[in-house]
Structure 1
Amino acid sequence: MTWTTFSASLLPLVGVALGTAGTLIGQYLVARLDTRRDERQQREALRAERKEAIVGFFRASQNVERARDQISSGGPREAVELEKHVHELWLAKKIIELVCSAELAQAAHDYTLELADNARMAGREPSLVNEHGLRAAMVEMARLEMGYDGSPLKRRAAIEARESETITSRTVVMTESPADAG
């Protein structure tokens, strides 16, 4: 067998093998790109859904705060409207629970409980310190949920400092006995 007869039968087989390999590699790369694109689209859709739920929750909480503040400032007592806003807030919280992380759902739950309790006290002087702290915690969890990994907002640190001072002052008052005070 000579080189010319051998190459005449081998070169077409090598060409077929290279063509097949090229086709398989091309299909693999296209499939990988499609998979990555699909995963990115799913992440973007989930992020959009979470963002919509978070914005809806904050809109509902803002409506409760506004209605409560109107009543507290001597405006017309629209208890029915306030109650409607509180129900919308609970619904928005449930949507957060469906589409967001457990941490954000817990923060939303805690804030909703406090906001609903304070709404029931509309017209009287509700304590808003805890509500503000829970709102700040909710905002920070929402920021994390949306992918922000920077430092927390300064207001969160200020609220934590105020809460720490309040706890410390309560502890000092509670640990002093009447004999120590006089």
Structure 2
Amino acid sequence: MALDVATAVVSIAGVAAGAATTFAAQYLNMVESKKGTAAAAATALRAERKEAILGFLESCQRVEKAAEHRYHEKEYFHGSPELTHEMWLRQKAIELVARA
């Protein structure tokens, strides 16, 4: 009788240990998954910010080139208003991405 009780206790303890190990492994997997998702989101946000900044700098460079042309050639550079508009639009894109 005592042997049957001991066998049952050992079996239940084995099942409990297995269940606890499975629960712990799944919990750790969930934590690592959340960290990976957060890291991926941070990387995507960084890339989006970089793209917005580079776009703004490119449009600033075109506006600068138009201003230099007008200064040196003393004539209106065709498309200047569109370039300025694009520059301000790119600045607003930076402001939007920076708030994220």
Name the TM-score, length of structure 1 as normaliser.
0.52
- Residues 78-117 of structure 1: CA deviation (Å, up to 9, x unaligned): 1x4111110000100110111115xxxxxxxxxxxxxxxx
Q: Between the two structures, name the one with larger relative contact order (CA 8 Å, sep ≥ 6).
A: 2
Which position in structure 1 is the counterpart of 2:76?
Answer: 77
Q: CA deviation at 1:76?
A: 4.9
Which position in structure 1 is the counterpart of 2:93?
Answer: 95
Alignment of 1:161-176 (within 5 A): none
1:100 alignment partner, SS class: helix
Which position in structure 2 is the counterpart of 1:67?
Answer: 66
> Percent identical across equivalent pairs?
35
Q: CA deviation at 1:70?
A: 1.2
2:73 alignment partner, SS class: coil
| C-alpha separation in 2, matches of 1:43 and 1:74 | 46
Unaligned runs of 5+ in 1: 102-182
- Asked if 1:41 corresponds to 2:35, the answer is no
What amino acid sits opposite 1:44 in the alignment?
Answer: T
Q: CA deviation at 1:77?
A: 2.5
| C-alpha separation in 1, matches of 2:98 and 2:68 | 29
Judged with a 3 Å threshold, the aligned counterparts in structure 2 of structure 1 residues 84 and 10 are, in CA distance, closer, same or farther, namely same
In the alignment of these two chains, the number of paired residues is: 99
Poorly superposed stretches of 4+, deviation over 2 Å:
none
Which position in structure 2 is the counterpart of 1:54?
Answer: 53
When the two chains are superposed, the root-mean-square deviation of aligned CA atoms in Å is: 1.4
Name the TM-score, length of structure 2 as normaliser.
0.92
| C-alpha separation in 1, matches of 2:14 and 2:48 | 50
Which position in structure 2 is the counterpart of 1:29?
Answer: 28
